[in-house]
Amino acid sequence: MALMITDECINCDVCEPECPNDAIYQGIDIYEINPKLCTECVGHFETPQCVEVCPIACIPLNPKSIESKEQLLRKYKLLTESKRN
């Protein structure tokens, strides 16, 4: 499952640079996460880095983007392959 940022986001800017897949971006009002790029840091880290640094805990799992750990790992492999080419 990809992560999402809720409207409790205070735009503190700490999550965006932590994302190894560049999935986090500044939206109209708050930061947002592109579910096509989010792997919950599977393949990179043991835990999602944006969740680790968020000071207000506004980054839950996105119920609209359900993926297994295996699917996230496949996405990670595709994303890292495309960065190499």
The per-residue pLDDT for range 66-81, each reduced to its tens digit, is 999 999 999 999 999 8
| Cα–Cα distance measured from residue 3 to residue 53, given in angstroms and rounded to the nearest whole number | 14
- For residue 3, the 8-state DSSP code is B
* Contact between 35 and 25 (Cβ < 8 Å): no
Hey, where are the domains in the chain? Answer: 16-84
Q: pLDDT tens digits for 15-71?
A: 999 999 999 999 999 999 999 999 999 999 999 999 999 999 999 999 999 999 999
User: Hey, what CATH topology would domain 16-84 get?
Assistant: Alpha-Beta Plaits (3.30.70)
